[in-house]
Amino acid sequence: MVNGENLKTLILIPAYNEGEGIARVIARVRQAVPDADILVVNDGSRDETAAAAASAGVIVVSHPFNMGYGVAIQTGYKYAFRHGYDFLAQIDADGQHDPECIPMLLAPVIAGETDFVIGSRFLEAGSYTPPLPRRIAMGFFRKLVSFLTGTAITDSTSGFQAFNREVIRYFTRDSFPCDYPDADMLITIHRAGFRIRELPARMFVSPSGRSMHSGWKPFYYMFKMMLSIFVTLLRRRER
């Protein structure tokens, strides 16, 4: 078993208009972690995402309209907490993340060695290189997050993650940063006393070519993230 006796693992796949490829991603996830349950949060897709995921035999929760990535993943966290899952791994629906890395990301969490694992494309040879505007934003927040957490973080925007039930519970709170849950989320859980570890993970260019950080959006992202981090630092530390 991937997750040990009587322990439950959920693989969360947030999805928006990924009907063409979601079944392939699900098949690869199931091959990598056959004993885990799979949840697709369909974030108001206008295509056949929900039907394709349901046909693949996984759990599907659908939003009535598109609410954004942060809300979609928090819906998954609330489902996981409500249904008693002990561990959760999160992977994108567009094929960018390599499902074969999921067991490696989960292993130190299951062993109790850390609470939260980030899969970093910059620690894995052969992972793709993001466009220049995004690299600038990522480099800035990599240094800022590493400074504020005291932990060397190379990929603070990675959505390829694994964590335990205490982190799942923490992420169900209203204070969860639903706008861009990236650098501010890492700072928040560090301030709450959770242990963070980064491991290499293979990532590829999205087959769809879409990205919420495409074009010049990274600079808008930088502005929004700085505001969110400022608010995070003003909040009282709490576990």
pLDDT digits (tens, 9 = 90+) for 87-102: 999 999 999 999 999 9
Full-model pTM: 0.87
Query: What pLDDT shows up at residue 2?
Result: 54
Which residues are within 8 A (CB) of 43 and not within 5 positions of it... i.e. 6 or more apart?
14, 15, 16, 63, 66, 67, 68, 69, 71, 72
Query: What pLDDT shows up at residue 182?
Result: 84
Lowest mean pLDDT among 34-48, 108-122, 132-146: 132-146
Partners of 97 in beta bridges: 203
Domains and CATH numbers, the chain: 9-234 (3.90.550.10)
Query: What pLDDT shows up at residue 116?
Result: 98
CA–CA gap between residue 1 and residue 43 (Å, rounded) = 30
CA–CA gap between residue 21 and residue 104 (Å, rounded) = 24
- 219 secondary structure, DSSP code: H
Backbone angles phi, psi at 11, to 5 degrees: -100, 120
Q: How many other CB atoms sit within 10 Å of the CB of residue 179? A: 15
CA–CA gap between residue 2 and residue 14 (Å, rounded) = 22
The mean pLDDT of 216-234, rounded to a whole number, is 74
* Coil, helix or strand at residue 43: strand
Residue 208: pLDDT band (50, 70, 90) is: low
Three state DSSP letters for 167-192: HHHHHCCCCCCCCCCCHHHHHHHHHC
B/e letters for 96-120, b = 16+ CB within 10 Å, e = fewer, are bbbbebbbebbebbbeeebbbbbbb
Nearest to 196 by CA among 167, 233, 229: 167
Sign of CA dihedral 112, 114, 115, 118: negative
- Indicate if the pLDDT at residue 27 is higher than 90: yes
Q: What percent of the chain has pLDDT over 90?
A: 67
CA–CA gap between residue 207 and residue 16 (Å, rounded) = 14
Q: Mean pLDDT over all residues of the chain?
A: 89
- Indicate if the pLDDT at residue 4 is higher than 70: no
* Coil, helix or strand at residue 15: strand
